[in-house]
Every structure is written in structure tokens, then in C-alpha cells.
Amino acid sequence: KTPVTMNAFELISTSQGLNLGSLFEK
């Protein structure tokens, strides 16, 4: 996917701060 076809929220949702799954991974 090129950056121009991305939408802003798709980018934002990749933040590590929003990835709560990592709480369960250790």
C-alpha cells in the first residue's frame, strides 16, 4: 500500500501505544 492510498486512522492504529495485545504477550 502506498502512503497516498492509506488513510490517516490506518496509520494511527499501528501505534504501539494502542496495541494492548502486548500486555498479554509476556
Partner 1 sequence: CRSRRSPQICQQANLSLLALDSPFSVNEVEALYELFKKLSCSIIDDGLIHKEELQLALFQAPYGENLFLDRVFDLFDEKKNGVIEFEEFIHALSVFHPYAPIEEKIDFAFRLYDLRQTGFIEREEVHQMVAALLMESEMILSDELLTMIIDKTFADADSDKDGKISKEEWKVYVLKHPTLLKNMTLPYLKDVTTAFPSFIFNTEVED
Minimum Å gap between C-beta 18 and partner 1 is 5
1 scored as a contact of partner 1 (CB under 8 A): no
Instruction: At 9, give phi and psi (nearest 5°).
Output: -70, -25
Nearest-approach distance from CB 1 to partner 1, in angstroms? 11
- Under a CB-based contact definition with an 8 Å cutoff, are residues 9 and 15 in contact? no
Minimum distance between the CB of residue 23 and partner 1, rounded to whole angstroms?
Answer: 5
Does the CA dihedral 15-9-7-1 come out positive or negative?
positive
Residues of this chain that interact with partner 1 (CB under 8 A) are 3-24, 26
